[in-house]
Structure 1
């Protein structure tokens, strides 16, 4: 039976809850609910939730190190649970994809995302799957990028956000059941 590590990136604390930068955390919350999983615990500087599915054992992880140091949590989790890197998926926000769109990638650079940069540095490789969750760029004129990613989703986007997070959950499920290539074909828009 396979084991999977699914990491959602974000920043800890109530000030960052429901911000664009924390969409990885939000996606894991939806995924956990869809499986009726239990309570989150703390391990290796992350909130961790473990459960079983038809596909195998699943560990959801939300690093609590702040985004720029995510690798300090991810690398020890991967090593401790002896999960092969091909069974790890990292979900994170992506400015260069429109809100509501998602894309699977593997063997790509960080593209300016400091959480991905930290994970890649700690693992010593880019050879892991990522699910980029589109948050889009800020409107012009408008906030700068740092303010944009740390801003909360507006109330009028709540319904679309819910649909998007459910779609992300379906994409993760497809990745576990069908593999990266098939999930990419199905979900990359």
Structure 2
């Protein structure tokens, strides 16, 4: 059983922001698979079948770990079967990487998941949002803004490719996809 977690913040005011790219990818996966994340379970919008669970935590980003921990404990999911989809400031817009990392990279949602699970040994699909061009722009305001008009078409394409990669992970395995996806995105 694979657990696919899209990170973001609940509420319409955050809907199309950089920080909600994980939610957008999960929405695209659900659309491609013709399923709905409608059930509210474990403080998340939830969909489950025999192969995978898709969730979008309904807590705020910084509390994502509490949701993931509940699902992992209930379904006895190994950390190696978890894929968390999130934004990454240190990756350029249009780039994405699938990897296991030893740290949160400063991402508060990932930090909370590591803290609650007691391990960093889960996969991340990190989607680049880049850093603000103006040094005076705070990171917290930048991640809560929508992509600009030149970036949006690039992000739309990355969301579709990321959803395809996650679908392939579910059925072909993480190693097959990481070799092909990471190589293609470089």
The reply on whether 1:103 has 2:101 as its aligned counterpart is: no
Q: 1:119 maps to what in 2?
A: 113
The alignment's C-alpha RMSD in Å is 1.5
2:59 aligns with one of 58, 65, 69: 65
The DSSP-based 3-state class of the residue aligned with 1:48 is strand
Q: 2:40 maps to what in 1?
A: 42
The DSSP-based 3-state class of the residue aligned with 1:70 is helix
Structure number having the greater helix percentage: 2
Aligned length: 183
How many angstroms does 1:142 deviate by?
Answer: 5.5
2:70 aligns with one of 68, 76, 79: 76
How many angstroms does 1:36 deviate by?
Answer: 0.4
How many angstroms does 1:156 deviate by?
Answer: 4.1
TM-score norm. by structure 1 comes to 0.90
How many angstroms does 1:22 deviate by?
Answer: 0.4
Distance in 2 separating the partners of 1:43 and 1:126 = 24
Q: 1:17 maps to what in 2?
A: 15
Distance in 2 separating the partners of 1:183 and 1:39 = 24
How many angstroms does 1:139 deviate by?
Answer: 0.8
The DSSP-based 3-state class of the residue aligned with 1:140 is coil
Gaps of 5+ in 1: none
Gaps of 5+ in 2: none
Distance in 2 separating the partners of 1:133 and 1:161 = 9
TM-score norm. by structure 2 comes to 0.92
